[in-house]
Structure 1
Amino acid sequence: MAYTDVNYLRSLGEVDLELKQSSVITEYEAQFLDSINIPAVDYDSTEGLRAMVAASEALTIMSLGPPSAQIKQSELTYETRDGAELSALLYQPTHPPSNDSPLVVMFHGGGFCVGSPHGEEHTCRNLVLAFNATCISASYRLAPKFPFPYGVKDAWDCLRWAAREARSWGADPLAGFVVGGTSAGGNIAAVLAHMARDEKLSPPLTGQYLAIPKLLPWDRVPERYREFLLSPAENANAPILPASAVEAFERAFKPDNDDAVWYGVFNHPRSHAGLPATFLQVNGADPLRDEAIIYERVLREEMGAKTKMYMYPGLPHGFWIIFGALESSRKFRIEQVEGIGWLLNRAPDYSGVITRV
């Protein structure tokens, strides 16, 4: 298979030609691309990063415009095990079908340090429109004020809350129950899929969605997979998320790299047997690329799990968020809906889906 060919893996990091063409990206995106390296982003400045991410999220929301009349959007709170009240955004079909609205719970990215539930708003709106799904995009406490394992344990409390409350929102988890996330949120989703299995979450998850996930501490790679983990070095200076950013986020989050239950889930002590179907989206010019590729292969070949993976060669971490005008971003959004439809065993209705902002 191509993903065991190290030369093919290296080719995935070659910069996508479309990304280089200023004519296909907006003026804002071009300025953002220039600013990534000039001046360099200070990833150790959490406050500066939060302001930048908040501005990006605000731009996305402005570009999306108000929710469609088919979507009811509201804000809820859930309580963590230590009594903290955290926010979550709820997206519902305005006229939900009887006992047939699947539940999707999403967690945003941001290196466990930045971001908000609005980071998954585009995705959640599309899932309501495509599947009449009920979608939660939840907050979790962020580092450095709340280092590991606060955020992921908050997310587990959230997932259990969502399972309990789903029917009060008009959702039916028996019609489909997916946990998903992007980047750090992808790590969270992968951890929660194992927790749901081990703690016998009821109703059980039927799928996990992992977009550009962080799954494997680079200093804890099992020997037999080490030759295939090329992307941290190959994409060390990639735009959006260079390796220095990963390391800065880890300094703030302070994860325990030996904790394979709440963080380095690739090395989970109870293996990956019995997990639900898994859908991944992976970017070629991303230092996190190869850990996702290896994980998909382990799930499929060693665990016999159902998997689907889409690869975006030459494109950096989170490109569809920053460079929404790219044709590749449109493709990402279409395939995101398609892949989550695969998890839900439903054909998408693309008529209202927003593929580009």
Structure 2
Amino acid sequence: MDSSSWKAYGKIDPELEAMLPAMPPSVSFADYGSADNLRKSIGEQFAQMIAAGILQLPDLTGITKTDIEIPVRDGSSIRALHYRPETGEAGPLFVYFHGGGWTFGFPEAWESGIKILASELGFHAVCVAYRKAPEAVFPTAVNDAWDATEWLANNASDLGADLSRGFIVGGASAGGNLAAVVTHEASDKKLSPAITGQFLSVPMVVHPDAVPEEYKPHYTSEEEFKEGMVLDRRGIQFLLSNYKMDSKSPYGSPLLWPSGHKSQPPTYFQVCGMDPFRDDSLIYEYLLREECGVPTRVDVYGGLPHGGTDFLPMLTQSKKALRDAKAGFEWLLSQRSG
């Protein structure tokens, strides 16, 4: 593995650099002190961005959005949002897990991307509101994600989706972590219909304390951006302490999956270059492609912080990421038949 070029992805995006003087100082998630304070503050920040016109809610004209309830193993149920074209076409299914460090976040988080998938590619998308820490600690989110995926595999036709046209699982950040776990579990448990592709956006695939020795020389972004914008080391530790993840469990670090990765479906990555988790994606992509023969596709957005393509939608690279997502999902669908 040659990781010598990866550091170049960390040079700050010029548009972002020009914006810095007008932006408030970056605050670590750890500085909020509690999950409740973090959730309240993040909600207020999003509301302010929407009010100021910085963040615009997508126009979902032509798309039907419905709340559904999905039963899970402890006898309760979790909320999910089902997006589908108003035409009623039985398209492929995309199951999405949002980010937020297993501690905050909401299933509406990627509606800008869901709009493209539903309106331009005919997808049905189900965005899952898995339960969050510290009220629900590891592995509750994993169990919810798996239970939701298994339920959707068995009930997709009732929602109007057609899994023979594609069954893709994905997520961002913590949600990408859950998606990577789900695709491994699906392979081991022979889920039918099988998952045909996965979308991993800025995921954590290995706990920082559990990086295998062979990958440590290439795993430098966590140190490089330990004081990074949006997500820093203290913030990561704060979120993980709330979630109480077992660092060496494959259900928290899917890079360590005991049965390996050769059975993984074609995988599309979106990576931010100024992200502590940058090298999670780049190491895992190399492992899938070179060592396991899994088809992969990767788009890197140099100089953007963790989740920057979502948090900074005004940037040219963020707009490109949405166009790339469409092409990436088209590629995933083509791999199904290729």
With normalisation by structure 2, the TM-score equals: 0.93
Q: How do 1:172-187 and structure 2 match up within 5 A?
A: 172-187=162-177
1:126-175 superposed Cα distances (whole Å, 9 cap, x missing partner): 21012111000010110011110001101111111111121112110110
| Number of residue pairs matched by the alignment | 331
**Deviation of residue 65 (structure 1)?**
4.8
2:217 equivalent among 215, 223, 227: 227
Which residue of the partner structure matches residue 93 of structure 1?
Answer: 85
Which residue of the partner structure matches residue 120 of structure 1?
Answer: 110
Contact 1:78/1:88 (<8 A) preserved: yes
1:18 equivalenced with 2:15 (yes/no): yes
Which residue of the partner structure matches residue 149 of structure 1?
Answer: 139
2:24 equivalent among 6, 31, 34: 34
Q: How do 1:181-196 and structure 2 match up within 5 A?
A: 181-196=171-186
| Alpha-carbon distance in structure 1 between the residues aligned to 2:307 and 2:216 | 25
| Alpha-carbon distance in structure 1 between the residues aligned to 2:273 and 2:153 | 34
SS for the counterpart of 2:263 is coil
1:83 equivalenced with 2:75 (yes/no): yes
| Alpha-carbon distance in structure 2 between the residues aligned to 1:65 and 1:17 | 26
Q: Which amino acid aligns with 1:287?
A: P
Change (3 A) 1:125 1:52: farther
| Alpha-carbon distance in structure 1 between the residues aligned to 2:158 and 2:247 | 38
**Deviation of residue 43 (structure 1)?**
4.7
**Deviation of residue 120 (structure 1)?**
2.4
User: Structure 1 vs Structure 2: percent identity of aligned residues?
Assistant: 35
**Deviation of residue 245 (structure 1)?**
0.8
| Alpha-carbon distance in structure 1 between the residues aligned to 2:259 and 2:119 | 37
Contact 1:57/1:119 (<8 A) preserved: no
1:315 equivalenced with 2:297 (yes/no): no
1:239 equivalenced with 2:229 (yes/no): yes
- Which runs of 5 or more structure 2 residues have no equivalent in the other structure? none
| Alpha-carbon distance in structure 2 between the residues aligned to 1:124 and 1:281 | 15
Contact 1:43/1:245 (<8 A) preserved: no
1:67 equivalenced with 2:60 (yes/no): yes
Q: Which moved more, 1:275-284 or 1:216-225?
A: 216-225
Change (3 A) 1:54 1:165: farther
Change (3 A) 1:175 1:40: closer
Which residue of the partner structure matches residue 52 of structure 1?
Answer: 41
| Alpha-carbon distance in structure 1 between the residues aligned to 2:238 and 2:219 | 20
Q: Which moved more, 1:207-216 or 1:239-248?
A: 239-248
Which residue of the partner structure matches residue 269 of structure 1?
Answer: 258
Change (3 A) 1:342 1:160: same
| Alpha-carbon distance in structure 1 between the residues aligned to 2:274 and 2:11 | 7
| Alpha-carbon distance in structure 1 between the residues aligned to 2:107 and 2:29 | 26
Change (3 A) 1:86 1:331: same
Contact 1:124/1:137 (<8 A) preserved: no
| Alpha-carbon distance in structure 1 between the residues aligned to 2:331 and 2:50 | 26
Change (3 A) 1:140 1:179: same
| Alpha-carbon distance in structure 1 between the residues aligned to 2:285 and 2:13 | 23
| Alpha-carbon distance in structure 2 between the residues aligned to 1:40 and 1:64 | 24
1:255-306 superposed Cα distances (whole Å, 9 cap, x missing partner): 111211x111001100001111000001110000101100000000010000
| Alpha-carbon distance in structure 2 between the residues aligned to 1:136 and 1:60 | 24
| Alpha-carbon distance in structure 2 between the residues aligned to 1:115 and 1:333 | 20
1:296 equivalenced with 2:285 (yes/no): yes
SS for the counterpart of 1:90 is strand
1:254 equivalenced with 2:244 (yes/no): yes
- Which runs of 5 or more structure 1 residues have no equivalent in the other structure? 23-28, 347-357
Contact 1:43/1:248 (<8 A) preserved: no
Q: Which amino acid aligns with 1:64?
A: L
Change (3 A) 1:178 1:43: farther
2:313 equivalent among 316, 321, 324: 324
Which residue of the partner structure matches residue 336 of structure 1?
Answer: 325
**Deviation of residue 11 (structure 1)?**
2.0
**Deviation of residue 209 (structure 1)?**
0.4
| Alpha-carbon distance in structure 1 between the residues aligned to 2:312 and 2:110 | 16
